[in-house]
């Protein structure tokens, strides 16, 4: 389907933007309370090991996307069934992320605007990006990556200049021991966002230097993990554990508190722009991963109509996925990691690895 190639810088940019994506919106890891930052770091370390498995599977068939790899390893019938399951998985998670960002925009800036209108506008932009192709999406990621990093650094700097972080809000360290942290790592912070990197097995065949793909992915995950951990720690230090855990969008609430000399304030726009950039790429990568998978599975040469079809399903799914935002968050943080992420991010890749090793004797 795709004849274009992307380079290492573009892949790295896409991966970081994808990882930050919706994870920076919600209160990730807050079940570990003031140790949420540690749960993210441990989730990142576990995710790195998981990504090495994804990389090993990719290296067996470096010219094929994940959907074809599965069929090669498990055979036509079981392989096709599992390949189609991953396509549905990518569409489902894209719908969840679209709902995340639609709710964010409605809550923070467009109060009173129907969610269906906001989600429609977002998916139209995502669909246009997918229609233009992977190379255009990658170039946009390369440009917006630096812009995103600058915004995050401004956010951190302004918080400290305003003297908002309070180290005592992060204490005591491991008050309830390691158990709350470990139960947060598995299955939550391992699978979201680090385990979601499995979608990049759909894109690695288009890398101009395939052998560099895994190393690039590991570096991107390390940077993303550090950024997410730092942002969550700052949110807790600024808002306190209770407020950070109960805030719908903790990062946005922290930004609202910035006030430098009664002059630099009302910096909500920094948060909104940062979150929209991350959301666009996360929705776009999952959606385009589904498009590539459908084109590969059904041998479709032109992907235009597939882009429209996937975008429509993602849009409808984002509206129908939950009755309200509270239910959506509850499902996303409690049910999805256990019943959706773990089977497709951990169980199936381990099965593929086992079959590969058996065949190699």
Mean pLDDT of 249-259: 85
For 211-230, the pLDDT digits (tens) are 899 999 999 999 999 999 99
Instruction: Answer whether residue 343 is part of any domain.
Output: no
Q: What residues does 207 pair with on adjacent strands? A: 6
pLDDT at 14 over 70: yes
Tokens (6 digits) for 78: 């079981």
Domain count for the chain, please give it.
1
CB 65 within 8 A of CB 294: no
Give the pLDDT confidence of 65-111 residue by residue, as tens digits. Answer: 999 999 999 998 999 999 999 999 999 999 999 998 898 888 878 88
Q: For 226-242, how does the pLDDT look when each residue is reduced to its tens digit (9 = 90+)? A: 999 999 999 999 999 99
Task: For residues 288-293, give the mean pLDDT.
Answer: 96
The answer to whether residue 258 is domain-embedded is yes
Structure confidence at residue 3 as a pLDDT band (50, 70, 90): low
Residue 342's pLDDT band (boundaries 50, 70, 90)? very high
Query: Which tokens go with 178?
Result: 């390691």
Establish if 359 belongs to a structural domain. Answer: no
Q: pTM value?
A: 0.94
**Residue-wise pLDDT tens digits, 126-180:** 999 999 989 999 999 999 999 988 888 888 898 899 899 999 999 989 988 899 9
Range of the domain at 271: 8-325
Q: Are 39 and 167 in contact (CB under 8 A)?
A: no
The closest of 256, 225, 166 to 29, measured between CA atoms, is 225
pLDDT digits (tens, 9 = 90+) for 303-321: 878 999 999 999 999 999 9
- Tell me what percent of the residues of the chain surpass a pLDDT of 90: 67
- Identify the CATH number of the domain in which residue 294 sits: 1.20.1740.10
Is residue 333 a part of any domain in this protein? no
Query: Please, what is the average pLDDT of the chain?
Result: 91
Instruction: Indicate whether 177 belongs to any domain.
Output: yes
With a CB cutoff of 8 Å and minimum separation 6, the contacts of 305 are: none
Integer Cα distance of 301 and 289 in angstroms: 15
Model pLDDT, residue 2: 55
77 in a structural domain: yes
User: Does residue 91 contact residue 287 with C-beta atoms inside 8 Å?
Assistant: yes
Residue 110 lies in a domain: yes
Flag whether 70 is in a domain: yes
Q: Phi then psi for 262, rounded to 5 degrees?
A: 55, 20
SS3 of 232, please?
helix
Per-residue pLDDT of 42-61, as tens digits, reads 999 999 999 999 999 999 99
């Amino acid at each position: 389907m795709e004849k274009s190639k992307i380079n290492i810088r573009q892949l790295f940019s896409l991966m970081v933007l994808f990882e930050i994506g919706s994870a920076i919106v919600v209160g990730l890891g807050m079940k570990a309370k003031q140790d949420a930052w540690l749960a993210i770091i441990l989730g990142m370390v576990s995710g790195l090991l998981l990504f090495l498995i994804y990389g090993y599977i990719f290296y067996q068939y470096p010219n094929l996307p994940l959907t074809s790899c599965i069929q090669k390893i498990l055979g036509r019938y079981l392989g096709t069934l599992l390949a189609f399951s991953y396509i549905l998985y990518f569409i489902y998670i894209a719908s969840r992320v679209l709902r995340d960002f639609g709710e964010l925009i409605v809550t923070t800036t467009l109060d009173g605007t129907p969610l269906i209108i906001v989600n429609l506008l977002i998916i139209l932009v995502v669909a246009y990006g997918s229609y233009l192709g992977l190379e255009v999406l990658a170039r946009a990621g390369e440009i917006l990556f630096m812009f995103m990093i600058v915004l995050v650094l401004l956010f951190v700097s302004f918080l400290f200049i305003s003297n908002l972080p309070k180290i005592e809000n992060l204490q005591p360290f491991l008050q309830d021991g390691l158990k709350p942290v470990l139960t947060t790592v598995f299955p939550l912070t391992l699978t979201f966002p680090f385990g979601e990197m499995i979608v990049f097995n759909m894109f690695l065949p288009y890398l101009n230097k395939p052998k560099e793909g895994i190393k690039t992915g590991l570096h991107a995950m390390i940077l993303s993990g550090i950024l997410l951990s730092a942002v969550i720690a700052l949110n807790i230090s600024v808002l306190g554990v209770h407020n950070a855990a109960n805030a719908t969008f903790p990062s946005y609430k922290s930004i609202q508190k910035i006030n430098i000399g009664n002059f630099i304030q009302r910096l909500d726009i920094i948060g909104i722009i940062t979150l929209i950039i991350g959301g666009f790429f996360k929705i776009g990568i999952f959606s385009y991963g589904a498009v590539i998978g459908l084109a590969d599975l059904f041998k479709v040469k032109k992907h235009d109509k597939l882009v429209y079809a996937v975008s429509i399903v993602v849009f409808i799914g984002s509206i129908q996925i939950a009755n309200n935002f509270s239910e959506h968050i509850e499902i996303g943080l409690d049910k999805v990691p256990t019943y959706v992420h773990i089977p497709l991010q951990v169980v199936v890749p381990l099965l593929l690895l086992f079959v590969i090793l058996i065949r190699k004797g």
